[in-house]
Structure 1
Amino acid sequence: MSELTWAGDQRRFRLGIDELLALQDKLDAGPAEIAGRLRDGTWRVQDLQEIFRISLIGGGLEPKKAKALIDTHIVPGKLASHVLMAWAIVANAIHGDEADPVGKPEAETEAPIGSPQPPSTETAS
């Protein structure tokens, strides 16, 4: 999940698996293809609309409110200003957030020097 300032307020955007599947269905393209279109300038208006709408809903916003924000802010004359953020939302879903590592921090997984090690589960051959 990402918290970004958009449409005059701090908002939560999330593309989990269910949201990515919905995005794929709506845009008839996978996440990497969508990110590529945003990156190389071949994006479509619907790409922007659906990325923002679905990720806002995934972040906890009510669908009607998400749709209203899209209708107000994803408009002719302002489309290009949303491309970079749309790409960041999709890229975060693909690659994750480096500030939010998966698993336990290293300090929790490595025993301090001199502390007893857990018994091995390997059997002798």
Structure 2
Amino acid sequence: MRGAEEITWAGGTNQFRLAIGELRAIESRCNAGVSVVLMRLLGQQWGTDDVVQPILLGLTGAGMSEGEAKRCLDRAYSTSNLYGLAINAASILQKFIMWDPDGDVPGESRAGAENQTQTRSQTDAPSGQPTSAQEPF
């Protein structure tokens, strides 16, 4: 499972993590699957829990106490509106349900995965008549 990530949002810079338990809690509290919650956030058709739950559960999933997470969200709400927090919630949720496990991973790349890029060599103009018949080897 994916580890915590440091994310800068309206409440500052904090660690967030949404593991399976937190994702299931979002689904339960928002009465919709996490992909539906994400689409509601991106499509500006969200409810308050669609905004609040990914942020709260992301903070607690990374180790913050529930009380501190609520206080952190309250502080963020005092400086940002709910629409701004919806953008933050979408970003947090997206990081934990849509990522490339082979993408930008810290550490060394897997054996044989380095520079497998092939380039075409420049060739002269074709000579002779085109044919669809295969030549014997």
User: TM-score normalised to the size of structure 2?
Assistant: 0.68
1:29 aligned to 27, 32, 36, which one?
Answer: 32
**More helix, by proportion:** 1
Query: Could you give the per-residue CA deviations for residues 3-30 of structure 1, whole angstroms, max 9, x where no partner exists?
Result: 1123453201111101101111111111
Equivalenced residue count is: 108
Q: Does 54-63 or 74-83 show the bigger shift?
A: 74-83
Unaligned runs of at least 5 residues, structure 1 = 113-125
Larger-Rg structure: 2
* Superposed structure 1 runs of 4+ greater than 6 Å apart: none
Instruction: Report percent identity of matched pairs.
Output: 29
Unaligned runs of at least 5 residues, structure 2 = 115-137
Q: Which residue of 2 aligns with 1:63?
A: 66
Where 1:87 maps in the other structure, the secondary structure is helix
Distance 1:45 1:111 in 2: 44
Query: Could you give the per-residue CA deviations for residues 28-64 of structure 1, whole angstroms, max 9, x where no partner exists?
Result: 1111000000011101112111111000001111111
Where 1:69 maps in the other structure, the secondary structure is helix
1:10-25, aligned counterparts within 5 Å? 10-25=13-28
